């Protein structure tokens, strides 16, 4: 067996299951899950129709690179969404469809890391645990960038020692962030790209929440957008990851893409050819339809805004929290230890939230997830409001 498997931490939801084991919630209150970031808005009908219309494609092997029509629709979406200009993204060389960003984020580190270099992989803390597991199994050492209220829940690149930058080979960033919803501004992304040029590392930008934002006039900037403004039209050292799971409420479709530096993607394509992870033709056709339609995405954002407004109106006076400008999570401070809060809330109110320490690691004497819980506003509006009232009742008993 791979000895590095022993270095992997249990997944957050394994820890949550252990925390809840043996605890009995009230039988008269239906369970409300607010722990998992699984969108529950209906998948648009036209996506399902496209999938059904192309089921005959199951009779053919798909190519790892994906069809030209899908790659073209993705390239054009990037150009529109991030104001890159027509023709800025080459669908032949700079786009690669993937079966959801989770597997791509993991596989990417396996393809680009040389363990002989004793490399570091930098990542925000708290974080999506795939980043850590990908680094460990690629033979790298994770290095955590604490994101706290004091830093606006964003990494402080100025605080990273030069010795760390010299060993860095890959940086994972997530904007809008999971679990905080914090958005990296243009200046900070520019700083990161300048550091990548100076120290020769790759930036992997997880942008799967980029289409869930509060202000229609102010969408979160993307890494390719900032690179282009800096004159890096070839997107050197830049790779972005996007998904239809959150944007289009299609987590079961397992569809996303990677885009950016053509040289890096050519090597990643080679890796994926051996990895055996081509997207099926029916999923490609459904995905192609999803990337060209924006009406359903705007409707999706409206639903999340309604939930943020309604839940904040209930919890705003009992929990220390800020409504984020993007994403679908709340990240409040807890009046007691986060694990005790989650366990007590489940026992008293049959509502499940995720303790923040399950998403973080202690680094520099600080655990930036401790004392927080992640609340995913993915359930229907009525359930979210009901859960908010139950959380309020629980807090008032403390």
Indicate which CATH number applies to the domain containing 327.
3.90.1150.10
Looking at 275, 293, 311, the residue that finishes a domain is 293
Angstrom CA distances, 196 to 25, 50, 209, stand at: 50, 40, 23
Residues 254 and 384 in one domain: no
pLDDT score, position 261: 98
Q: What is the mean pLDDT of residues 116-144?
A: 97
d(CA 326, CA 268): 30
**Do residues 179 and 331 lie in contact, with contact meaning Cβ atoms separated by under 8 Å?**
yes
Per-residue pLDDT tens digits for 313-333: 999 999 999 999 999 999 999
Q: Do 276 and 392 fall into the same domain?
A: no
Yes or no: say if 86 and 136 are a contact pair by the CB < 8 Å rule. no
In this predicted structure, what is the pLDDT of residue 51? 94
CATH of the domain at 128: 3.40.640.10
Share of the chain above pLDDT 70, in %: 100
- Indicate if 170 and 257 belong to the same structural domain: yes
User: Is it the case that residue 130 has pLDDT exceeding 90?
Assistant: yes
Asked if the peptide bond before residue 140 counts as cis, ω within 30 degrees of 0, the response is no
In terms of domains, do 17 and 57 share one? no
**Is 24 in the same domain as 108?**
no
As given in the structure block, the two tokens for residue 1 are 């067996």
Per-residue pLDDT at 396: 97
Same-domain check for residues 375 and 268: no
Residue whose C-alpha is closest to residue 98's, from 73, 135, 65 = 65
Domain around 242: 45-293
Q: Note the pLDDT tens digit of each residue in 70-81.
A: 999 999 999 999
Q: What is the pLDDT of residue 282?
A: 95
pLDDT in tens, 24-70: 999 999 999 999 999 999 999 999 999 999 999 889 899 999 999 99
Spatial contact of 96 and 65, defined as CB atoms under 8 Å apart = yes
Q: 291-320, pLDDT tens digit by residue?
A: 999 999 999 999 999 999 999 999 999 999
Q: Strand pairing of 373-376 and 329-330?
A: antiparallel
What mean pLDDT value characterizes the chain? Answer: 96
Q: Answer yes or no: do 237 and 254 share one domain.
A: yes
Cα 52–107–267 angle (5° rounding)?
100
Q: Are strands 329-330 and 32-33 parallel, antiparallel or unpaired?
A: unpaired
The band of 287, judged by pLDDT with boundaries at 50, 70 and 90, is very high
Does the pLDDT of residue 276 top 90, yes or no?
Answer: no
Round the CA-based radius of gyration of the chain to a whole number and report it: 21
244, 346: one domain: no
Domain boundary among 239, 274, 293: 293
171 and 227 fall within a common domain? yes
Same domain, 266 and 373: no
**Cα(357)–Cα(355) distance, integer angstroms:** 6
From residue 178, alpha-carbon distances to 35, 132, 331, 343, 375 in Å are 12, 14, 9, 22, 11
Query: What integer pLDDT is reported at residue 87 of this predicted model?
Result: 96
**pTM score, whole prediction:** 0.96
Residue 277: per-residue pLDDT: 87
Which pLDDT tens digit goes with each residue over 366-386? 999 999 999 999 999 999 999
One domain for residues 242 and 307: no
b/e 287-302 (16+ beta carbons within 10 angstroms → b): bbbbbeeeebbeebbe
The residue out of 248, 265, 293 marking a domain boundary is 293
Q: Is there a single domain that holds both residue 287 and residue 304? A: no
pLDDT band at 212, cuts 50/70/90?
very high
Report the domain count for the chain: 2
Min mean pLDDT across 56-65, 160-169, 231-240, 373-382 is at 56-65
CA distance 266 to 189: 24
């Amino acid at each position: 067996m791979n000895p590095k498997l022993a270095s992997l931490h249990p997944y957050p939801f394994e820890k949550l299951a252990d925390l809840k084991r043996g605890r009995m919630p009230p039988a008269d209150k239906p369970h409300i899950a607010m722990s998992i970031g699984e969108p529950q808005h209906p998948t648009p009908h036209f996506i399902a129709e496209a999938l059904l219309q192309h089921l005959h494609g199951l009779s053919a092997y798909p190519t790892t690179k994906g069809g030209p029509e899908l790659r073209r629709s993705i390239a054009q979406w990037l150009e529109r969404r991030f104001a890159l200009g027509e023709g800025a993204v080459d669908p032949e060389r700079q786009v690669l469809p993937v079966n959801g960003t989770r597997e791509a984020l993991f596989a990417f580190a396996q393809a680009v890391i040389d363990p002989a270099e004793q490399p570091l992989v930098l990542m925000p803390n708290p974080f999506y645990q795939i980043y850590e597991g990908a680094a460990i199994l690629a033979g790298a050492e994770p290095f955590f960038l604490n994101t706290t209220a004091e830093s606006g829940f964003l990494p402080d690149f100025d605080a990273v020692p030069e010795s760390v930058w010299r060993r860095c080979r890959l940086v994972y960033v997530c904007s809008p962030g999971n679990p905080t919803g914090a958005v990296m501004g243009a200046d900070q992304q520019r700083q990161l790209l300048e550091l990548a040029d100076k120290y020769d590392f790759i930036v992997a930008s997880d942008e799967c929440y980029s289409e869930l934002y509060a202000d229609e006039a102010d969408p979160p900037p993307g890494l390719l957008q900032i690179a282009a403004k800096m004159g890096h039209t070839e997107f050197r050292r830049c790779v972005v990851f996007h998904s239809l799971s959150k944007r289009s409420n299609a987590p079961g479709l397992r569809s996303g893409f990677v885009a950016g530096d053509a040289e890096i993607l050519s090597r990643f394509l080679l890796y994926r050819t051996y990895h055996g992870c081509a997207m099926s033709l029916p999923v490609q056709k459904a995905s192609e339809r999803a990337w060209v339609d924006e009406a359903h995405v705007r409707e999706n954002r409206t639903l999340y805004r309604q939930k943020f407004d309604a839940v904040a109106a209930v919890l705003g006076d009992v929990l220390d929290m800020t409504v984020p400008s993007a994403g679908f999570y709340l990240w409040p401070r807890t009046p007691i230890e986060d694990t005790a809060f989650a366990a007590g809330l489940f026992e008293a109110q049959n509502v499940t939230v995720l303790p923040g320490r399950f998403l973080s690691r202690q680094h520099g004497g600080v655990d930036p997830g401790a004392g927080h819980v992640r609340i995913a506003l993915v359930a229907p509006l009525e359930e979210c409001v009901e859960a908010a009232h139950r959380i309020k009742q629980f807090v008032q008993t403390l």
